Amino acid sequence: MALITSFAVLLATALFALVSAAFGHRLLRLLGIEFSAAAEQLLFSIALGVICIEILLFPVQLLNHIRAGVAGALLLAVAVGSREFAAILKKLGHCRSRAFNGSRTQRNLLILLTLVVALEGFAAMAPLTGSDALHYHFTAPLLVLHSGFHANFFLSHSFFSGQSHLLILAGLALGGSQLAMGFLFLGGVLAAGAGCCLARRWVSLEWSTIVALLFLLTPVVIWQISTAGAPDLWMAFFATMSVMAIARSAEWLSIPMAILAGALAGAIAGAKYTGCIVAASIAVAYFLENRSIRRVAIFFLSALCAGIWPYARNFAWTGDPFFPFLLSRISPGTINAFALASYRADTGASTQKGFWQVLGSPVFAGIDPLHAGLWQFLGPIVLVFFPFLFFTLRKTPAWRAALTIWIVSALSIGATSGMTRFLLPVLPIALAAVMAGAARAVSAGLRPLRFVTLATIGFFCTLGGAGVLVYLRSPLSAAVGLTSKENYLRQRAPEYQAVEFVNQILAKPEPEGNTLVFLRHVFYLRVPFLYGNPAASWAIDPSRYKTPEEWMELFREQNVRWVVRSPEFPSEIAAPLDQLEAQGKLIAIARAEVADFQGMRISEERMTVPIAILKFVP
């Protein structure tokens, strides 16, 4: 049954892609845009269709019946694109025929690529276990679905949710977390396709297929496309399509292309805060190729229409569109200095960046030692083949746009954050560019150079393939039904056994009341809760809650009836809560010991953690 369900969800994901393509194709027709290459037309259609669906989904959050609103938005997309389905299917058939009618090497590469996509797709169908996804990527949309659209200063990472999170909301509304993961997986597949399409401008079909394969076998992509539960790969898709849009705009010099390029930039800016850096680099690249004030103005207007919505939401709720990073200048008296420092440290913004670390960002050579892990590893391919670029660069709009977006984005992100995984949006662009150089090196005829180049690519693909099989063995087992959902979550989801215990004790018919929790991974909680860890909760400021009386007042205001401690209260706020327990205001009603991960999950080391549920007695 699990295998059938996973297959059905992947089919539903493909149907969503088809609907988006038809919707976007219709919009491109209305703009008068037609690309001669079928693959390019399909990718731009899906990109524009998804951007417009995200815009439609934003006001849906304001409705009392969000599920019906999501269904209505998708039905509207179907209605608008209904006349385009035949054209989309015809172009798909053309792309398939052209891809498989190539050389034997090309067919073998496509078979390998299809196998990798299938493995990663089924792995994405496993129950959700990504740490940030369990904390806010999926939790924030789920809370909107259940309790409406409002500011949540307890789960303050919800302010970081962008336009692409609306795809998660749509998936949760229509089919649950599996469908939402399918939509995120789709973004990764499209990013690989966009990298392939960009590379096709410079190299043969075989080499462009290798670009897609290398992208999908990069460790950070394997993690993002399968189990992470984060929408960053959609940024990679939009950024790569921006290169092609700017190249076309330089050729056509038309207002519709300005609209399309601006929409892509806006979609990236609307995805997350660091997306604004990538969008700014796209704006620079567009300006370099289009010196028309009118077209540049249209570009910026289109970008605002596509990506302003999360910032408008944050401004309406807090007065800070980039909450909380501008609040110290806008409203210093409302700052939670402890949480702000934690956010800056978590994103790498508070770490001093060295010159060589920033300089290594475009080739993905820097690793933040404070956030070390596979999710920071984008592979050595760009670094190894970077010198080949100097033998293949041309003075063309595509090359200028690719280098501007890639280099400017990477240097800016490296200087402001230093977290390598934030460079993911420009990875397909970088791979397409350096593999164009590698292809030229191979065709130069020098045997040693040809051997080293092909051996390096083969070695990376072998290691990446082994990584897919090793890292994804557990999620694949769950996705096809070899491991039950509960057993998989107990084995792979952080803090799941603690959450299970809370649900078992408190998810019963009881008088209304909230549960204050300090567990980070709250997606599977089935009780009304408030997140209370001051490191990631703007509402819990250690400087404001120093006494038991201040905590009791908070409990009364927020209707808190239960408090979950596991294993101890956070040290910054522990003293007054311990006093409440000593005074009999917090009474333990249930205790247990649960298993959880010790350190990084990939090490699979576990430890026993005590957990207690306390009842607040006013």
Helix (H, G, I), strand (E, B) or coil at 609: strand
pLDDT for res 102:
79
Pick from 311, 45, 50, 408: nearest CA to 197 = 45
Distance CA 272, CA 325 (A): 13
Between CA 94 and CA 104 the distance in angstroms is 19
Q: How far is CA 564 from the centre of its chain?
A: 30
Question: In the structure encoding, which two tokens stand for residue 386, read together?
Answer: 């970077």
* Helix, strand, or coil (residue 198): helix
**pLDDT tens per residue, range 445-502:** 778 888 889 999 999 999 999 989 999 999 999 999 999 999 999 999 999 999 999 9
β-bridge partners, 612: 565, 591
Q: What is the pLDDT of residue 377?
A: 62
Angle CA 290–295–298, to nearest 5: 140
What's the token pair of residue 63? 């409705």
Select the CATH number that applies to the domain covering 494-616 from these four: 1.10.530, 3.40.50, 3.40.1130, 3.40.190: 3.40.190
Cβ atoms within 10 Å, residue 607: 11
Give pLDDT, residue 442.
86
Angle ∠(354,265,243) on CA atoms, nearest 5? 80
Q: How far are the Cα atoms of 12, 379, 425 from residue 198, in angstroms, in the given order? A: 27, 20, 14
What are the structure tokens assigned to 376, written together? 């920071």
CA 512 to the chain's CA centroid: 35
Confidence at residue 391, expressed as pLDDT on a 0 to 100 scale? 83
Q: Residue 416's pLDDT is what?
A: 85
Q: Is 36 helix (H, G, I), strand (E, B) or coil?
A: coil
Residue 17, token pair as written in the block: 């892609």
329: burial class by Cβ within 10 Å (0-12, 13-18, 19+)?
Answer: exposed
Determine how β-strand 529-531 pairs with β-strand 586-597: unpaired
DSSP 140-163: HHHHHHHH-S---SSSGGGGG--T
Cβ pair 307, 266 in contact under 8 A = yes
For residue 474, give the amino acid letter: S
User: Residue 509: its pLDDT value, please?
Assistant: 67
Q: Dmax over Cα atoms in the chain, in whole Å?
A: 82
For residue 352, what pLDDT is reported?
Answer: 67
Q: Report whether 296 contacts 265 (CB < 8 A).
A: no
Q: What is the pLDDT of residue 182?
A: 97
Q: Whose CA is closest to 179, among 124, 139, 132?
A: 124
Q: Which residues contact 271 (CB under 8 A, 6 or more apart)?
A: 162, 163, 164, 231, 232, 234, 235, 238, 307
Q: Residue ranges of the domains in the chain?
A: 2-360+369-474, 494-616
Of all residues in the chain, the percent with pLDDT exceeding 70 is 95
Give the number of other Cβ atoms within 10 Å of residue 35's Cβ: 16
Q: How many CB atoms lie within 10 A of CB 348?
A: 20
pLDDT value at residue 561: 95
Distance CA 107, CA 444 (A): 24
**Strands 606-616 and 560-565, sheet pairing:** antiparallel
Written in H, E and C, the secondary structure of 538-584 is: CCCCCCCCCCHHHHHHHHHHCCEEEEEECCCCCCCCHHHHHHHHHCC
Distance CA 113, CA 358 (A): 33
| DSSP designation for 421 | G
Low-confidence ranges of the chain (pLDDT < 70): 348-352, 366-377, 418, 509-511, 599-600, 602-603
Residues in the chain: 618
Q: Are 502 and 614 in contact (CB under 8 A)?
A: no
Listed residue (515, 469, 519) closest to 499, CA to CA = 519
Q: Cis before residue 324, ω within 30 degrees of 0? A: yes
Contact present, 234 and 271 (Cβ < 8 Å) = yes
User: What stretch of H or E contains 529?
Assistant: strand 529-531
Dihedral of the alpha carbons of 60, 63, 67, 70, in degrees to the nearest 10: -20
Instruction: Give the pLDDT confidence score for residue 546 in this predicted structure.
Output: 94
